[in-house]
Amino acid sequence: MPDIKQPNHAPTYGLVNRRGVLAGGLLLAFAASSRRKAHAAGEEPSLKNIQKRTGQSGKGGYDGFAPGGFIHITRDHGVVLIVPNVEMGQGIYTGEAMLIAEELEVGLDQIGIKAAPPDAKLYTQPLLKSQSTGGSTSIRGAWVPLRQAGAVARTMLIAAAAQQWQVPAEDCFAQRATVVHRGSGRTLPYTDLAEAASQQPVPQSVALKDPKDFQLIGKPLPRLDVPGKVNGSALFGIDIKVPGMKYASVAACPVLGGKLASVDDSATRKVPGVRDVLRLPDAVAVTGDHFWAAHKGLKALRISWDPGPNASLSSDDLVQTLRNAYGKSKPVVARQDGDVDNALSRAAKRVDAAYELPFLAHATMEPINTLVHVRPDGCDVWVGTQVPVLAQQLAAKASGLSQDKVMIHNQLLGGGFGRRLEAGSVGQAVAFGKQVNYPLKVIWTREEDIQHDLYRPAYYDRVSAGLDSSGRLTAWVDHVSGGSVTGHYVPKGLPAG
C-alpha cells in the first residue's frame, strides 16, 4: 500500500492506522446486535455484546483483517477512540468522543480520533441496521453503547491497577486517564495499565453516570475537528495523494440506463499529460498526470451515447406521473384524526392548493472523488463515505477480489447530506482503476455530480383546508405523491426488531 503524504502539522484525528497501532494495548469493542430493538424503542444494548480484543505482535494492527472496537490504549499512541460514525461537518467526532470519554474519564485533550473501518459486526448502527451515518441517528443510536464501552474500559483499568497495588478496586477511582488509589494517593496512567487491563474479565454490568455528574456531555467544549480545518491540516478524500498517482476525469451517459456507444480519442491522445482513455459500459474516463490534463483530454473526446429506454423521458413526464397518481392507488396513511371528509363538506369555506417540489441535487462542497489502487493481491480505496461497508462491497465486486482484500480508508467528508450514502462512484472508480497499473484518483466535476446525483425526490402535494365562518381551521388534509428515499436504500424495508 502506498504511503499517504501527510501535512507537516497533521491533526490528532486520522493519524492512527491499522499498520501503525502496535500490540500490547487494550482494545474494547461493542457490537450492537442488529436483531435487538433499537434503544429508542426502549431496550438498551446488552453488555454481553462488549468484546475484548488485543493486538498481536508482528501484525502491526488489531486482530484479524478488520480493525475494530471503540477504545484502543497503547504506550505509543495513548488513548485512541474509534468513532463509528463519519465526520461530515456535523460534529460527530466530538459528540461520540464525548460519550466514550465521559465514562472512560479522559479529557478530550487527551485522546486521538480514528474513523471506524468497515466492520458491520462491530459498527452496525442500531437504528439504521447497517454501518452508516445518516438520518440524524448517530447520537441516538450511540448514546448507550458508547457510554457503556467507556465505563467497561474504565472498570477494567481500575481493576488492573487495584490488582497491581493489591488493594480493593473500590478504593480506586479514575480521572484524566489515570487511576488513583484513595488511601495512598498512588497513581498509574492508563497507558501503563493497558496490557494488564486487557487480561481482566469483561464486567457484565456497569453503572453509567448520572447526567448531573457529566463533565463533558452537554458542555460547550471546542470541537476536535476545528483546528485541522482552520490550519489546513485536515485531510478530506480529495486531499489524499499517494506516490505514482494519476488523475481521472469522468463522463457517464447523461441518460439513466443509457450506454456508451463509441469514442473517438484521437484528439485526446494529443493533449499533453494525458495517459490513458478508459471505458466502462456506461462511462468513459481520461487519465492524466494532473487533473487539468485529464479533464482537457476528456473534453477533447468525441463521445457517442446510446440513451436507452429513457431517452424521451422528461421532467414534465415525471411531474405529470405524480399528478396522475392522486386517487389511483391506495395511499399510505401517516396520520388520520376524525372524519376529514365530513368536516370539509360542512366547512363554511374550502381552500385547495397544489404544490410541486422539484428534484434537488445535494451539491456538497467537496465533489465526488475516490482514490483507488487496484492490484492482483488487494485493493486500497481512499474516500469519504457515509457507508464504508457498502463501499467495500462495491469495490470488491468491481475489482473481482474478495471483500477481505479491499481496504477502505475513510476520510473526512466535505459535506454529505445523504449524498455519500450512495457508493456507486466507488465501484465506478475501482472499475476504472482495475484497467491501469497505477493508483488512480477519480474526480467528478461539479457538472457530473449534479447530473448524476441521487436526487431528493420530486413531490406533488394536494392540500385541502376547511374554515368556519370566523376563518378558523376546521379540517386539513395533505395528499403527497412522490418517491421514497427509504425505498431506494432498503427496497424491502428495514429488518424487523
Domain boundary among 213, 231, 249: 231
Based on the domain organization, do 165 and 212 belong to the same domain? yes
Give the pLDDT of residue 51: 53
Can you tell me the distance from the alpha carbon of 289 to that of 439, in angstroms, rounded to the nearest whole number? 11
Cβ-Cβ contacts under 8 Å for 229 (sequence gap 6 or more): none
Helix 138-165 vs helix 190-197: crossing angle, to nearest 10:
90
Based on the domain organization, do 125 and 59 belong to the same domain? yes
Can you tell me the distance from the alpha carbon of 117 to that of 138, in angstroms, rounded to the nearest whole number? 16
What DSSP string runs through 123-137?
A: H-BTTTTBS---TT-
| Selection from 456, 476, 463, 482 nearest residue 355 by Cα | 463
Can you tell me the distance from the alpha carbon of 153 to that of 493, in angstroms, rounded to the nearest whole number? 36
Based on the domain organization, do 267 and 405 belong to the same domain? yes
Q: Does residue 15 lie within any of the structural domains?
A: no
Give the pLDDT of residue 17: 35
Q: Does residue 212 lie within any of the structural domains?
A: yes
One-letter amino acid of 445: T
Q: Specify the CATH number for the domain of residue 353.
A: 3.30.365.10
Based on the domain organization, do 351 and 375 belong to the same domain? no
Q: Are 424 and 390 in contact (CB under 8 A)?
A: no
Give the pLDDT of residue 496: 60
Domain boundary among 216, 231, 246: 231
Based on the domain organization, do 243 and 349 belong to the same domain? no
Based on the domain organization, do 146 and 77 belong to the same domain? yes
Based on the domain organization, do 64 and 139 belong to the same domain? yes
Based on the domain organization, do 142 and 279 belong to the same domain? no
Q: Does residue 3 lie within any of the structural domains?
A: no
Based on the domain organization, do 161 and 137 belong to the same domain? yes
Based on the domain organization, do 205 and 345 belong to the same domain? no
Range of the domain at 248: 237-308+363-451
Three-state SS letters, 313-354: CCHHHHHHHHHHCCCCCCCCCCCCCCCHHHHHHHCCEEEEEE
Tens-level pLDDT at each residue, the chain (497 residues) = 544 433 332 233 333 333 333 334 677 665 433 333 333 222 333 444 555 544 433 332 333 212 237 898 988 889 999 999 999 999 999 999 999 999 999 999 999 999 999 998 888 888 888 999 999 999 999 999 899 999 999 999 999 999 999 999 999 999 999 999 999 999 999 999 998 998 898 888 899 999 999 999 999 999 999 999 999 999 999 999 999 999 999 999 999 999 999 999 999 999 999 999 999 999 999 999 999 999 999 999 999 999 999 999 998 999 999 999 887 878 888 899 999 999 999 999 999 999 999 999 999 999 999 999 999 999 999 999 999 999 999 999 999 999 999 999 999 999 999 999 999 999 999 999 999 999 999 999 999 999 999 999 999 999 999 999 999 999 999 999 998 877 777 777 656 65
Domain boundary among 196, 231, 266: 231
Q: Does residue 340 lie within any of the structural domains?
A: yes
One-letter amino acid of 99: L
Cβ-Cβ contacts under 8 Å for 90 (sequence gap 6 or more): 138
Rounded to an integer, what is the distance from CA 67 to the centroid of its chain? 16
Q: Are 439 and 375 in contact (CB under 8 A)?
A: no
| Selection from 414, 420, 496, 413 nearest residue 453 by Cα | 420
Q: Does residue 20 lie within any of the structural domains?
A: no
Based on the domain organization, do 83 and 180 belong to the same domain? yes
Cβ-Cβ contacts under 8 Å for 110 (sequence gap 6 or more): 78, 79, 176, 177
Based on the domain organization, do 37 and 108 belong to the same domain? yes
- Residues 422/426/427/429 CA torsion (nearest 10 deg): 140
Q: Are 395 and 408 in contact (CB under 8 A)?
A: yes
Q: Does residue 202 lie within any of the structural domains?
A: yes
- Number of structural domains (the chain) is 3
Give the pLDDT of residue 68: 38
